[in-house]
Amino acid sequence: MSNRLRIALTKGRLQDKSVELFERAGLDCSPIKDPGRRLVHSLPNYPLDAVLSKAPDVITYVEHGICDLGIVGKDTIMEQGGSFFEVLDLQFGKCRFALAVKDGSNFYGTYKTRTIASKYPGVTKAFFAAKGMDVDIIKIEGSVELAPILGLADAIVDIVETGATLKANGLIPIETVAPISARLIVNTASMKLYKNEILDFISKCEQFIEG
């Protein structure tokens, strides 16, 4: 009998997209689709238990070997880092990190140190370090678009999907920092211990990736 694997899913939109992928692959996901307040669910027709958690915690559970697998956005992976295998680009949850400024402002046309607001200070720091540019970074928890409007920052590094939020707030993207999509990650020890089970699961997912 094969070992049951445990997977951490990012709650919300990535959870829904993960379920769609699993269902295309023939996995019965009815327990996850009607979860109530329950956070751990056993799939009835495949040896997999699904744990629903916040994106940064997906990485924490996988790194500590509590979960063998995880589905999490590249945005969280880039910001948080960690020690695990990133095995598949699942091609959903697609968006990008972009540098955005107030429409009409000349971001690169000054020598003064620029201030950047972001929910992702690590990504922002790495982006400007690669350019050899010294910037001040202010961590913001949400609605980052407010920062340049209110004069807290010269620019933001944030997630852009449709661009509607930037546009509605008079901001324009001037550079793509990195593309983002959901990734399947695997605990390094699990990969050795449950190699057959994990490879079976990866190949099941791989066959049904869309886009």
How far lies 86's CA from each of 19, 90, 187, 209, in Å? Answer: 19, 11, 9, 16
Min separation Cβ 84 and ligand PRP, Å:
24
Binding site for ligand PRP (CB under 6 A): 119, 142-145, 158-165
From CA 128, how far away is CA 177, in angstroms rounded?
10
Taking the least distance from each CB to ligand PRP, the nearer of 29 and 153 is 153
Three-state secondary-structure class, residue 60:
helix
Q: Which residue, chain included where needed, has tokens 């327990």? A: 31
Q: Residue 141 Cβ, how far from ligand PRP at the closest point, in Å?
A: 7
Closest distance between ligand PRP and the C-beta of residue 164, in Å?
A: 4
Q: Which amino acid is at 8?
A: A
Nearer to ligand PRP, 97 or 201 (CB): 97
Q: How far apart are CA 124 and CA 156, in angstroms?
A: 9
Token output for 117? 């607001």
Residue pair 79/189 in contact by the 8 Å Cβ criterion: no
Complex with ligand PRP: residue 42 or 143, whichever CB lies closer: 143
CB-based contacts of 172, cutoff 8 Å, min separation 6: 100, 101, 102, 103, 166
Q: Which residue lies nearest ligand PRP, judged by its C-beta? A: 142
Which amino acid is present at 160?
V
Task: Provide, rounded to whole angstroms, the least separation between the CB of residue 202 and ligand PRP.
Answer: 28
In whole angstroms, the minimum distance from the beta carbon of 189 to ligand PRP comes to: 33
